[in-house]
Amino acid sequence: MAELNVNIGNLKLKNPVMTASGTFGYGLEYTDFMDINRLGGIFVKGTTIEHREGNAYPRMAETPAGMLNAVGLQNKGARYFAEHIYPEIKDYDTHMIVNVSGSTIESYIECAEVIAQLDHVPAIELNISCPNVKEGGMAFGVTCQGAADVVRAVRNVYPKTLIVKLSPNVTDITEIARTVEAEGADAVSLINTMLGMAIDVEKRRPVLSTITGGLSGPCVKPIAVRMVWQTYNAIKIPIIGMGGISNWKDAVEFMLAGSTAIQIGTYNFIDPAVSLKVIDGINEYCDRHGFKSASELTGAMMK
């Protein structure tokens, strides 16, 4: 039995396995299938200061080994979350981390301030990489200047653990990672979805109402592993790796590439209890390879 706990800045996780924002609701959707208390953390649905209806249907297209989505941050707003959802989830024995998004720097600040008031939310994941909203979202995450501005502004008002979620839709993800590290982020998480597109050839129309959407699932995994590895070699703060993880082997791969912890996203839709199998698999792997602690896996790739 290996030690599974890992640290993301000051945040202590009981194990490195967490679930990704937008794929796990508020955790409550999964309680019939698994004991969510066993998770290292749950990144709840992307939250904005204002209520958002999201994009028009259709919002999803299946792809080989993955899917495109164009949900567009549908949520009832940070204050609704604080009043109605937070009380339902705050007492679970896992870290509930809120994914915070915005359309202007002011709206990011306002949302982070509302979430900062919630005692049982020890961290936020700043989403500067959502490809599915017209204004803001990814716009901040694809330039160093945009990333610096929003991270600096939120860092000023948010004293707890600040994780910044990076976009893969950039020429060099390490530049953005270095920038957010310099602005005081405690950790980065990557990757968000890759911008993609699908066309219904019979109808000669785009499948998604927004034409383009975010690609996720096993099909993006090699790209995500590469970006984690590049980022690991560029920054000192912890990396939370994700992108197509569907079993313990994928999770270990992300850790060897440099992740301190991982998130499971799209595969929750295929196997709602996959994350627990990943925890057990990491433990078994550590025992088999003589690692006393899961934290030793980070960056432990042989060269």
Residues in touch with another protein (CB under 8 A): 22-25, 29-30, 32-33, 45, 53-54, 56-67, 69, 71, 74, 217-218, 266, 268-273
Residue 129 or residue 246: which is nearer to another protein going by CB?
A: 246
- Using CA atoms, how far residue 62 sits from 139, 211, 275, in Å, is 25, 14, 22
Structure-token pair, residue 173: 């993800």
Residue 100 or residue 297: which is nearer to another protein going by CB?
A: 100
130 is catalytic: yes
Residue 147 or residue 278: which is nearer to another protein going by CB?
A: 278
- Minimum CB distance to another protein, residue 222 (Å): 16
- Using CA atoms, how far residue 189 sits from 121, 176, 179, 296, in Å, is 17, 12, 14, 19
Contact partners, residue 224, CB within 8 Å, separation at least 6? 168, 190, 191, 241, 242, 243, 244, 254
For residues 22 and 170, what is the distance between their CA atoms, to the nearest angstrom? Answer: 22
- Minimum CB distance to another protein, residue 57 (Å): 6
- Using CA atoms, how far residue 148 sits from 163, 174, 175, in Å, is 14, 13, 11
Residue 157 or residue 273: which is nearer to another protein going by CB?
A: 273
- Minimum CB distance to another protein, residue 28 (Å): 9
- Minimum CB distance to another protein, residue 136 (Å): 19
Q: Which residues are catalytic?
A: 130
